[in-house]
């Protein structure tokens, strides 16, 4: 199954972490697979209904997807749905933030695989990734580690560290 949730704790305000995650054009700083994102159709930032195109890479293979923001509650949740270039469902991604009284924010990154059988086959061919669930777990862990490092050091504009 391709549904995955990865959790971590970050010593930073939930709003600051949300701002890092919701800065979709900057996602390449955190994600080892999604290199860059562009807002589309007049969208300029994270708001419900905002659309974007994501550009992804696995080694020499690259592909693009289209996304729509479905939840944008600063400091609480950022969720978007991803569709293929053929407009078929691919996944739903969510980031949830739970601030603690101790200054530590609990962050959960989740993905739900929404592909049917044909899309799973096409996805394996296009990306070269045979176990999407395991690959997502690996990349999500790296993403959250990079977010934690940036949020806790206050260097959100820095480049990702080697994984």
pLDDT confidence tier of residue 158, bands split at 50, 70 and 90: very low
- Given a cut of 80, is residue 28 above it in pLDDT? yes
Q: The pTM is what?
A: 0.88
The tally of domains found in the chain comes to 1
Q: Give the residue numbers spanning the domain of 112.
A: 4-153
Residue 139 domain flag: yes
Residue 159 domain flag: no
**For 85-139, what is each residue's pLDDT tens digit?**
788 899 999 999 999 888 999 999 999 988 877 677 777 777 777 777 788 899 9
Q: How much is the pLDDT for 13?
A: 95
**For 35-90, what is each residue's pLDDT tens digit?**
999 999 999 999 999 999 999 998 898 989 999 999 999 999 999 999 987 888 99
Return the CATH number at 26: 3.30.530.20
Residue 163 domain flag: no
One-letter-per-residue 3-state SS of the chain: CCCEEEEEEECCCHHHHHHHHHCHHHHHHCCCCEEEEEEECCCCCCCCCCEEEEEEEECCEEEEEEEEEEEEECCCEEEEEEECCCCCEEEEEEEEEEECCCCCEEEEEEEEECCCHHHHHHHHHHHCCCCHHHHHHHHHHHHHHHHHHHHHHCCCCCCCCCC
């Amino acid at each position: 199954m391709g549904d995955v949730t990865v959790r971590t704790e970050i010593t930073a305000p939930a709003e600051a972490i949300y701002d890092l995650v919701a800065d979709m054009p900057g996602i390449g700083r955190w994600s080892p697979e999604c290199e860059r994102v562009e807002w589309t159709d007049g969208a300029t930032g994270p708001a419900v209904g905002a659309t974007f195109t994501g550009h992804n890479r696995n080694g020499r293979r690259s592909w693009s997807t289209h996304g729509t923001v479905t939840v944008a509650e600063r400091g609480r949740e950022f969720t978007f749905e991803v569709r293929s270039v053929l407009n078929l469902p691919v996944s739903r991604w969510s980031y949830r933030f739970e601030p603690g009284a101790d200054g530590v924010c609990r962050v959960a990154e989740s993905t739900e695989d929404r592909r049917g059988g044909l899309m799973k086959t096409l996805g394996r061919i296009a990306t070269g990734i045979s176990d999407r669930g395991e690959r997502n777990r690996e990349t999500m862990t790296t993403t959250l580690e990079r977010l934690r490092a940036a949020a806790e050091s206050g260097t959100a504009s820095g480049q990702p560290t080697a994984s």
